[in-house]
Structure 1
Amino acid sequence: MKALLPLTAALVLALSACKADDHASPADTAASKEPAPAASVPPASLPPSLPEPGEASGQPTSSQLAGWQGYGDLKLGSTVEEARQAWGGELNSSTPSEGGSCYQLTPKWATDKADVAFMIEHDHFVRYDVTTSKETAPGGGKVGMDEGQLRALYGDALSSMPHKYVEGGKYLSVSQGKDKLVFETGADGKVTSWRVGLPPQIDYVEGCA
């Protein structure tokens, strides 16, 4: 009889465990089967923004500069001192002709003094000249275009007259108020340079010469 007691006790313990499992709630069972939440991953940081064209070199872009009233912050009719202050950077200066008051200022970054030149006469900024295709004139004209392309941009407002020195070349001009834009074309009919300025300096075909 005493030998049966341990066996009976073991059976009682086994039955008690089965009943405890039967009373477990469905919610508890589902929770035990649900996977652990994944660790949150921080969003990748965005790369730093790239500089605008010309920003790294300090050279401003042409689309922001060439206008009817001037070149960037340099306004036609301003004094040479106002022009220098408005530009903010270094400007190279040509030597006025003997007995004259006309000379040119050029940006330090210009690869050639004729790429972009600011005409000063009687201590006032009166005109700027461009000979590079990297610049765009007011209205969309550029070095390298032909007369047909210019007329598509400026229409009947574009007037024409023969070039003083180049056979077959022309001066093609358009005005907006007192400001005037003049394109010069070569013998092949392509634009070689253009300028914007005030009268009478805008019509100096030799510049400050």
Structure 2
Amino acid sequence: MPSRPDRILAAALLALAITACSADDGAAVDPSAAAGDPPTTIGPDAPKPAAPAPAPAEPTATGDARFDGYGPARFGMSADAVRAAWNGGDLGEPGDAPAGGPDGSDACFHLSPVGQPDQAYFAMMFEGGRFVRYSVANDGMAAPGGGRRGMDEAGLEALYGPVTDRSPHKYVDGEYLRVADPSGSDAVLLFETDADDVVTEWRVGLPPQVDYVEGCS
């Protein structure tokens, strides 16, 4: 029969073995955690960090620029018809509109996709109840034929040939450069340039609205 000291030593060794087994159960614990701080779980059972939220897409008009309209919107369509056909989201409420209903009246107003930085980014003009023009003041959208804001006059003429239909800009030392529809329609592509002959914005529309320089006037 073991002596009393031997029995005490055996019991102590058994207790140490049980403690070691308990520490091995479950996920590992970060040994560098400070005393008193909650342990950090590491290994395959550790919680995964949340994925970053995707950046919101820059709002843009949907479709392609043409001499007869933009995307599903064709010149001559009513505002209700454009709203029903538009696949770029909510077009919001009319801007630049005088009092009175926007459809079926002579009022001039603009519609733009909701969420744009400002209305000038992309705007569709209606007058007399019909879609008559769209204007662009951003670098991402290309005009029919490839012209863009930021191009100089030499770049435009490389795309469209010599631009002979021009007139002085009303507000800056620049010009209005008019490009006729090659198919022969009445529609016009008009570029506005600054004193450095660089395009600041462009629009496509029917006369006389395409030549309005102050929104609806």
1:184 aligns with 2:192: yes
TM-score, normalised relative to structure 1:
0.66
1:108 aligns with 2:114: yes
Q: How far 1:195 sits from its partner (Å)?
A: 0.2
The CA distance in 1 between the partners of 2:159 and 2:197, in whole Å, is: 16
The CA distance in 2 between the partners of 1:188 and 1:158, in whole Å, is: 18
Amino acid at match of 2:192: E
Deviation per CA, 1:33-58: give whole Å up to 9, x if none: xxxxxxxxxxxxxxxxxxxxxxx959
Gapped runs of 5+ residues in structure 2? 1-55, 101-105
The CA distance in 2 between the partners of 1:86 and 1:74, in whole Å, is: 7
> Could you tell me which of 167, 180, 196 is aligned with 1:175?
180
The CA distance in 2 between the partners of 1:58 and 1:150, in whole Å, is: 26
Amino acid at match of 1:97: P
Q: Which stretches of structure 1, 4 residues or more, deviate above 3 A after TM superposition? A: 56-62, 97-100
TM-score, normalised relative to structure 2:
0.64
1:102 touches 1:122 (CA, 8 Å); kept in 2?
Answer: yes
Query: Equivalent residues in 2 for 1:15-34 (5 A)?
Result: none
Specify the alignment match of 2:75 in structure 1: 76
Query: Equivalent residues in 2 for 1:29-40 (5 A)?
Result: none
The CA distance in 2 between the partners of 1:61 and 1:119, in whole Å, is: 14
Question: In structure 2, do the counterparts of structure 1 residues 72 and 85 end up closer, same or farther at CA, with 3 Å as the change threshold?
Answer: same
Gapped runs of 5+ residues in structure 1? 1-55
Q: Please, what is the CA RMSD of the aligned residues? A: 2.2
1:202 aligns with 2:210: yes
Specify the alignment match of 2:143 in structure 1: 137
2:163 touches 2:177 (CA, 8 Å); kept in 1?
Answer: no
Amino acid at match of 1:69: D
> Which one has a bigger Cα radius of gyration?
1
Question: In structure 2, do the counterparts of structure 1 residues 125 and 164 end up closer, same or farther at CA, with 3 Å as the change threshold?
Answer: same
The CA distance in 2 between the partners of 1:86 and 1:110, in whole Å, is: 19
| Residue identity (%) | 45
Amino acid at match of 2:77: S
The CA distance in 2 between the partners of 1:195 and 1:75, in whole Å, is: 14
Q: Going by fraction, where is helix more abundant, 1 or 2?
A: 1
The CA distance in 1 between the partners of 2:114 and 2:164, in whole Å, is: 33
1:101 touches 1:123 (CA, 8 Å); kept in 2?
Answer: yes
